[in-house]
Structure 1
Amino acid sequence: MNGIRFLDGLSGIAPSDWDAMVPDGNPFVSHAFLAGMEAQGCLREDYGWRPYHLAIFDGERIVAAAPTYLKGNSHGEFVFDWSWAAAWERAGGDYYPKLLVASPYSPVPGPRLLVRPGADADALRRQLTAALVAEADRLGLSSVHANFLPETDLDAFDERWLARADYQFHWHNRGYADFDDFLAALTAKKRKNIRQERGYAQASGLTLEMRGGDTLGDAEWRQIHALYELTFDMKGNHAALTSRFFRHLGHAMGANVQVAMARDEHDIVAMALFLRGGDTLYGRYWGASVEVSGLHFELCYYRGIEYAIREGLARVEPGAQGEHKLARGFLPTLTHSRHYIAHDGFRRAVAEALVAEARHREAYRAELLTHSPYANR
């Protein structure tokens, strides 16, 4: 008989048992990433995060799970429901806490309903979504949200869950031989602009390189984290990820962490941190203490594209938002989320809002594609 449990952390689950349920080695739902956030001080209740992971056991063997959190706010999610929360609280309800199935601080599409290979995958995924609804109802919560879902997870959500979608900008490898081969697929104007941006960065006098996490020492990780913090400080935001977590990623994931960096003699003055999983390179964090024309694009985009071509990866996903990515070869790609709203009347109101949102979204995509950087659209 399968047993459903909610766990207050992943420390009691063997990394090999958890990772056996992660398809394609997706780094953002790996044990190293999720448990590392818990152990290294990134997830705290005063930040709005309380681990509450859903797991299904066959005896003492974990066979299915969903990385789940009790959330006291909507920070660090990137599927924005602030307006829903405000409407519900104006009506006298408590929107928080809510249940969230996600990878914290990571607007990255990937598996959320994890199942051990060989198990009855479809049935277990449906059992996971049913258990989330039942737990929200038992606790009297307003809602459950599952963000950045892959298409393989979608059929597990029944009609009680509202469908929502958005677009990110992803780069797709069309079998390019090298970076120049990629440039050849673009319009002449976009090709010229990218070469100009790369030229600015390369003429800056800084040393540009891309390094694996297993080659970086603790002092270098401290510099990298300081640049990440500086970016948040400049925008008046809080940098939730700790220096200990950055070093943990380098030690635990090794070469699956890649850092594109710029050095001024011995000091790292700009960096973009990537994680690799399966056939995809994921761009995550950026920071710089200097202003150099083209440097952000060189480290965050072009170095990642070069790496993906060299390694034969299918995609580069550089994160959320940013129409400026379109001109640099990143095309709008659909992302998915599902939402269970406990109150029937509020669910209907949200459903109506999502219909209008979908119309605007598709009009936005159509407009974007008229500006495709590729010569053959």
Structure 2
Amino acid sequence: MDISQLSFVWYRGLQAISAADWQALAGAHPMLDYHFLRAFELSAAVDHQTGWTPYHLAVFEGAQLVAAAPCYLKTHSYGEYVFDWSWAEAYEQAGGQYYPKLISAIPFSPVTGPRLLIHPDYTAPQALAIAMVSQMRALCQSHGFSGLHVLFPDASSANACAETEGLRRTGVQFRWENLSYVDWEAFLAVLSRDKRKKIRQERNKVQQQGVQCRVMTGHTVSPEALALFYQCYCNTYHRHGSSPYLPLTFFEQVVREMPDQFILFIASQDGVDVAASVCVLGQDTLYGRYWGSLRDISCLHFELCYYQPQQFCIGHGIRYFEGGAQGVHKLARGFVPYTTCSYHWLTHPDFHQSVARFLDREAGTMQAYVDELEERSPYKVTPASD
């Protein structure tokens, strides 16, 4: 069908879209699941008060939803993990107003995935994706938003962004791959000797401090266990003098609607629960998301945020574990670097060109950083991936 015959509609929340229609577009990515994104809205983690106003794009062919994009109007840059604070400062020093801006992203989640969600039966997906970006840019122009930012798109969404003059920004994260290891020792065997020794020392230290760990899914998580996790989660923020992004009701909603995808690791010391971490499970990837501790226990962060999830992946045949943003220390624990990207369009032409020049300079520095990281592989021989 001709793109011009489609209807592009903006919604201030997912309640206006049926869960079944959204799921037909989102596929299996757990953090694009209707219930996951809706949990942000129902818990008021995203709304006008928090500076994350839902502004989702939906595309209809007649009455059928054929495409959508999770979008938000932002009045700040917190919780994005693509840092543009310096752009905002420069723009406002020049007399402009950087906020609000429009972003397409998963709130508070530096996780790569589709951003332009298109029904698998639609016959011209690339043309539709390009039209969606054009609609987003037109909205920014007509409403005076400073720009559009598509954060952590997968390859398909990124291609559409590149074809619409988006400015590409490259980032780096760290991912662990389960190369069909039969057990934990099989994984350790492929590491260099010093890395293998370090991991064993760290895990032994945790055990010597009387710590034991257990894992639950959303089906077995009790209200008490979830409350313990949330206390730990909040404590992480409070220690750094900040407030948590997410309320307890967000996690309660996810546990209720997505129990298979909610994975909780709890650590106890001498029989007392003292720390917890939460991961979100996809088809072939476990995503490390939130953690916290009530006691200072040496090496517990590594155990609960890396080693326990890695063992979970080995035991359940999960191929990848993504441990979250940043963290060069992950290299020593078997993770390897991989590049992420974001795309940006600034409404003011001169400012767009200034950011383009900045990103050109940054790209060279980033490539040198990636090259350096790849030379520091923790493996005896860099593992081959099919």
Q: Which residue of the partner structure matches residue 8 of structure 2?
A: 4
Would the aligned equivalents of 1:224 and 1:268 in 2 still touch at CA under 8 Å?
A: no
Q: Which residue of the partner structure matches residue 187 of structure 2?
A: 182
The answer on 1:232 being equivalent to 2:233 is no
Deviations 1:123-171 (A, max 9, x none): 2211211111111111111100000111121121224210111100111
Aligned equivalents of 1:12, 1:346: Cα separation in 2: 35
Would the aligned equivalents of 1:98 and 1:141 in 2 still touch at CA under 8 Å?
A: yes
User: Given the alignment, which residue of 21, 36, 48 partners 1:17?
Assistant: 21
Aligned-residue offset at 1:248: 1.2
Q: Structure 2 length as normaliser, TM-score?
A: 0.95
The answer on 1:321 being equivalent to 2:323 is no
Would the aligned equivalents of 2:233 and 2:290 in 1 still touch at CA under 8 Å?
A: yes
Aligned equivalents of 1:339, 1:106: Cα separation in 2: 18
Aligned-residue offset at 1:267: 4.4
The answer on 1:47 being equivalent to 2:50 is yes
Aligned-residue offset at 1:270: 0.4
Other structure's SS at 2:99 match: coil
Q: Which residue of the partner structure matches residue 127 of structure 1?
A: 131
Deviations 1:99-140 (A, max 9, x none): 000000001111111011211322221121111111111111
Would the aligned equivalents of 1:169 and 1:325 in 2 still touch at CA under 8 Å?
A: yes
Structure 2 stretches lacking a partner, 5+ long: none
Would the aligned equivalents of 2:213 and 2:265 in 1 still touch at CA under 8 Å?
A: yes
Seen in structure 2, the aligned counterparts of structure 1 residues 266 and 19 have a Cα distance that, compared at 3 Å, is: farther
The answer on 1:79 being equivalent to 2:82 is yes
Q: Which residue of the partner structure matches residue 366 of structure 2?
A: 361
Q: Which residue of the partner structure matches residue 372 of structure 1?
A: 377
Q: Which residue of the partner structure matches residue 331 of structure 1?
A: 336
Aligned equivalents of 2:270, 2:210: Cα separation in 1: 9
Other structure's SS at 2:209 match: coil
Aligned-residue offset at 1:210: 1.1
Would the aligned equivalents of 1:161 and 1:340 in 2 still touch at CA under 8 Å?
A: yes
Would the aligned equivalents of 1:77 and 1:107 in 2 still touch at CA under 8 Å?
A: yes
Aligned-residue offset at 1:26: 0.9
One-letter code aligned to 1:204: Q
Aligned equivalents of 2:228, 2:144: Cα separation in 1: 45
Would the aligned equivalents of 1:161 and 1:341 in 2 still touch at CA under 8 Å?
A: no
Other structure's SS at 1:11 match: helix
Aligned equivalents of 1:155, 1:72: Cα separation in 2: 27
User: Given the alignment, which residue of 111, 115, 118 partners 2:114?
Assistant: 111
Aligned equivalents of 2:283, 2:304: Cα separation in 1: 21
Aligned equivalents of 1:42, 1:264: Cα separation in 2: 32
One-letter code aligned to 2:274: V
Other structure's SS at 1:319 match: strand
One-letter code aligned to 2:105: A
Aligned equivalents of 1:267, 1:214: Cα separation in 2: 22
Aligned equivalents of 1:123, 1:211: Cα separation in 2: 43
Other structure's SS at 2:229 match: helix
User: Given the alignment, which residue of 220, 223, 236 partners 1:215?
Assistant: 220
User: Given the alignment, which residue of 299, 305, 319 partners 2:304?
Assistant: 299
Other structure's SS at 1:292 match: coil
CA-based RMSD of the aligned residues comes to 1.2
Other structure's SS at 2:152 match: strand
Q: Once the two structures are aligned, what percentage of the paired residues are identical? A: 40
Q: Which residue of the partner structure matches residue 144 of structure 1?
A: 148
Aligned-residue offset at 1:175: 2.0
One-letter code aligned to 1:18: W
Aligned-residue offset at 1:73: 0.6
Q: Structure 1 length as normaliser, TM-score?
A: 0.97
Q: Which residue of the partner structure matches residue 92 of structure 2?
A: 89
Aligned equivalents of 1:337, 1:83: Cα separation in 2: 16
Would the aligned equivalents of 1:326 and 1:372 in 2 still touch at CA under 8 Å?
A: yes
For residues 54-73 of structure 1, what are the structure 2 equivalents within 5 Å? 54-73=57-76
Deviations 1:71-122 (A, max 9, x none): 0010110001111111110110011000000000001111111011211322
Other structure's SS at 1:318 match: strand
One-letter code aligned to 2:111: V
One-letter code aligned to 1:89: E
Q: Which residue of the partner structure matches residue 41 of structure 2?
A: 38
Would the aligned equivalents of 1:53 and 1:67 in 2 still touch at CA under 8 Å?
A: yes
